[in-house]
Chain A
Amino acid sequence: MSIAKKITESQIWKSVFRHRFEDTPRNRALATVSNSFLHLHPVTLPESALRVRFTFCLGGLTFFMFLVETVTGILLMFYYRPVPEYAYLDMKLLEHTVRFGMFLRNLHRWAGHAMVILVMLHMLRVFLTGSYKPPREFNWVVGVFLLVTTLLLSFTGYLLPWDQIALWAITVGTKMAGATPFLGADGPFHEWLRIHPGNDMRFLLLGDSDVSGNALLRFYVLHCVLLPVVAGVFMFVHFWRVRKDGGISRPL
């Protein structure tokens, strides 16, 4: 037997790849079905759904960006501590001393922006192809949740470098929360519920009446743990729904 044959006939190989690679329909089907990652795909699908100029791969690329963010994010977590005394200097250390540190940071940031843009474009595409109409209504709603989650992920991550851009952007952003009617210390009718800067919506977001170390830690946990988990759960539902609603939409 040739080397290749020896490898592909071994027990190790066969336990990992549970199908052959000869071009038979069976193998093609098994390649999809027996793969933990790929079996979300249908085994077969209409050729029209392959057209790039239909979906522009926007949804998939958004998910891809999410994966890029996860990988680069975890790598960044090795170098960053979410405490005001450490955060900014950790960024500087990352940029100046860590090998590929600047590149890693750039990847994370631009992939983040790309994800936001892509998710908005994906929404536009889905709308323009009417792919929110029955039976796909609820998937659209889940998609809106994902949009919000993406924006929140980006927003919470924005604070982490702890530089002037970060601080003031989040200050501006959360000031709006302070203007919530009834629940915000600067909003209309806040006296009715005895809301003040120490217990309003903004305080809930920031853990303090101003953007400080509490906000940093809070946003870090949101950014690295809670929101990714929420996004993951929603994505799970979203992708599953795409399959169950009949795959990518096409003319009825």
Chain B
Amino acid sequence: MAETKDIKASHPGPGEVFAFPDLVYRELLAMIVALIVLTIWSLAVDAPLKGVADPNWTENPAKAPWYFVGLQELLVYFDPWIAGVSIPLLIILGLAALPYLDPNPRGVGRYSFKERKIVVPIFLFGYLMWFGLIVVGQFLRGPNWQFYWPWEDWAVPKPAEPPLVNLPNGMGWAVIAAYFLLGLGLAGVFGKGLLKKMGWVRFLTGWTVVLLMFGVFGKVLLRLFFHVKYLVTTPYFSI
């Protein structure tokens, strides 16, 4: 039989255990628990099914699946080419590039904030904003994408939003430029030698992406509190 030759009874070293049964059994238990939860949920709650698809009857509100509804919420603050295309792409690319943009080698294999004081807040901010947008879009938006608290009746229409202003283009570009320059500058100055550690390419890429992320939040605030719709308006695109 083939198995006898290559097994030199690999005894577990110090602090080690055999995968079978310890790991495998735990995995099995996890699966059973997951299955129980899934079964209970499937018995209790039915998957929704509305009337047959009718292209002539628009649902109001027409919501994307919950994991995209955050992006749909962003449509309030940005044009579709930003909210629907650019931001998702940047999220994916930013996430994929994360290991290469994080110059800090510490904190592997354990939960630690102290060793990773920069990257953890940044990531968590983005993560929470993502889920925050989902919560708003899924639970707090009603017909015509108006804001409704969960207890409010969707049949009662909401008053129109106060009119929005667009910043004059010069001012808009200035704001954008100032924001990035300031952001990058601050990162470089207070970054404790980040620039040297990362090199120009990584520094610029990483911090631009981070600044864009905060910028999304900033624009949301601008819209909510200052009723700004566009910073920059051109015939081809607007930001």
Asked if A and B form a direct contact in the complex, defined as CB atoms under 8 angstroms apart, the reply is yes
Shortest CB-to-CB span from B132 to chain A, Å, is 14
Determine if A79 is an interface residue (Cβ-Cβ < 8 Å). Answer: no
**Which segment, of B47-55, B158-166, B171-179, faces chain A?**
B47-55
In the assembly, what is the distance between CA of A19 and CA of B65, in Å?
48
Specify which chain A residues have a CB less than 8 angstroms from the CB of B237 in the assembled complex: 181, 188-189
The answer to whether B65 touches A173 (Cβ under 8 A) is yes
Q: Interface size for chain A: under 10, 10 to 19, 20 to 34, or 35 or more residues? A: 35 or more
Specify which chain B residues have a CB less than 8 angstroms from the CB of A57 in the assembled complex: 26-27, 30
The answer to whether A95 touches B17 (Cβ under 8 A) is no
In the assembly, what is the distance between CA of A140 and CA of B38, in Å?
28
> When each residue 9-46 of chain A gets 1 if its CB lies under 8 Å from chain B and 0 otherwise, what string results?
00000000011000011101111111000100111111
Residues of A200-224 at the interface with B, using a CB-CB cut-off of 8 Å, are 210-212
Residue with the greatest number of chain A CB neighbours at <10 A, chosen from B3, B96, B99: B99
In the assembly, what is the distance between CA of A52 and CA of B18, in Å?
16
The answer to whether B27 touches A60 (Cβ under 8 A) is yes
The answer to whether B18 touches A28 (Cβ under 8 A) is yes
Given A25-B9, A50-B26, A171-B62, also A180-B3 (CB < 8 A): no
Determine if A242 is an interface residue (Cβ-Cβ < 8 Å). Answer: no
**Which segment, of B103-111, B180-188, B190-198, B205-213, faces chain A?**
B103-111
Nearest to A35 among chain B residues (CB) is: B20
The answer to whether A140 touches B98 (Cβ under 8 A) is yes
Specify which chain B residues have a CB less than 8 angstroms from the CB of A166 in the assembled complex: 53
Specify which chain B residues have a CB less than 8 angstroms from the CB of A102 in the assembled complex: 46
New A-B pairs, 19, CB < 8 Å, besides A44-B10, A128-B120, A172-B62:
A25-B11, A30-B3, A32-B24, A44-B17, A45-B16, A130-B112, A134-B99, A141-B96, A141-B99, A154-B67, A164-B54, A165-B50, A169-B65, A172-B64, A175-B80, A176-B71, A180-B85, A188-B236, A251-B110
The 7 nearest A-B residue pairs measured at CB: A176-B84, A179-B80, A137-B99, A106-B42, A168-B62, A188-B237, A167-B53
Chain B residues with a Cβ under 8 A of chain A: 1, 3, 7, 9-13, 15-24, 26-27, 30-31, 34-35, 38-39, 41-43, 45-55, 57-59, 62-68, 71-72, 79-81, 83-86, 92, 95-96, 98-100, 102, 104-112, 116, 120, 123, 127, 236-237
